[in-house]
Amino acid sequence: MFEDRKYKPLSPWSYFGYELLFQIPVAGLILLIVYSFSGKNINRRNFARAHFCALAVFIILVAIFTVLSLIFGFTDAVLGFFTDSVKKL
């Protein structure tokens, strides 16, 4: 019986609920880490690990873009674009 719960598939609504849960700023990150190392449900653990990897890739890409924009001076161009866009409103 224990093995059945361990390998029980998640419903689509479960994936949707976990996705919403992981979007909560601090609590979502804590639960993401807890579920990544939990062994109660393999499918939930793998989903949390995949979400954690995607979050790590996103953070790395933002860091690279930030460093490149500071090095090459894209910051002034981007801020100027947003400032002009806001003035038009």
Tens digit of each residue's pLDDT (9 = 90 or more) over 28-82: 999 999 999 998 899 999 999 999 999 999 999 999 988 888 887 776 776 777 7
Count: domains in the chain: 1
Residue 44: name the closest of 72, 64, 19, 70 by CA: 19
- Which residues span the domain enclosing 50? 2-88
Q: From CA 78, how far away is CA 84, in angstroms rounded?
A: 10
User: Quick one: pLDDT at residue 3?
Assistant: 64
Q: From CA 29, how far away is CA 80, in angstroms rounded?
A: 34
Vertex 85 angle, CA 62 and 58, to 5°: 10
Torsion of CA 58, 62, 67, 69, to 10 degrees: 140
Tens digit of each residue's pLDDT (9 = 90 or more) over 14-31: 999 999 999 999 999 999
